[in-house]
Chain A
Amino acid sequence: KNEVEQSPQNLTAQEGEFITINCSYSVGISALHWLQQHPGGGIVSLFMLSSGKKKHGRLIATINIQEKHSSLHITASHPRDSAVYICAVRSTGAQKLVFGQGTRLTINP
């Protein structure tokens, strides 16, 4: 079992829909990252969380440390949100990020 599990693996929605991507992890962490990767493009860090909730524009990220779970929400989704979204955790005691497999999001106009 992977240390970081994302769901769903693929998600297709219509423009304007509310999107939720989930991330569960099994290790102790000091922080959790949500990353965005466009096709053929680099990786951009959207959020880094160690507790609670963060909001940036139409994106909201939450984390529940006790349940070892995080969610990324996109409100009023737009085709330009189409990308792969990756959850990554900083495991305590290891100098590396552990990545989920990614969620491929497609927003149709």
Chain B
Amino acid sequence: EAQVTQNPRYLITVTGKKLTVTCSQNMNHEYMSWYRQDPGLGLRQIYYSMNVEVTDKGDVPEGYKVSRKEKRNFPLILESPSPNQTSLYFCASSLWWGGRNTEAFFGQGTRLTVV
């Protein structure tokens, strides 16, 4: 089954404790992206990757890191989480970016609480 898998689904952590949210897709997609969703602000892009070893900042990259060492995985790293990073996070992928007929697939989301 074609899917994007995020882990964990729920996470409560303390300020400053490094964490990683994993994202994996099994569709050989080139494009992957991370978004955060906050009430009243909607979904905003954090980072994206056009292919292996190619990553770039989205609209709200501060406090986050990503890596793309393999095509299937695109982890989101919070080196020193702060309470303002409490949010619902989504990973998404699509075959490639430029085409008119490339469907987007989303993970189930990770609800992160930083206390």
A residues apposed to B, CB below 8 Å? 30-31, 33, 35, 41-45, 48, 50, 86, 88, 90, 95-97, 99-102
Contact B56 A95 (CB under 8 A): yes
Which B residues are in CB contact (< 8 Å) with A44? 106
Q: Once bound together, how far apart are the Cα atoms of A56 and B44, in whole Å?
A: 28
Q: Which 9 A-B pairs have the closest CB atoms?
A: A42-B108, A43-B106, A50-B100, A99-B43, A96-B45, A101-B42, A99-B42, A42-B109, A95-B97
Interface residues of B (CB under 8 A from A): 31, 33, 35, 42-45, 48, 50, 56, 58-59, 90, 92, 97-109
List of B residues within 8 angstroms of A100 by Cβ: 42
**Residue ID in chain B nearest A51 by CB atoms:** B100
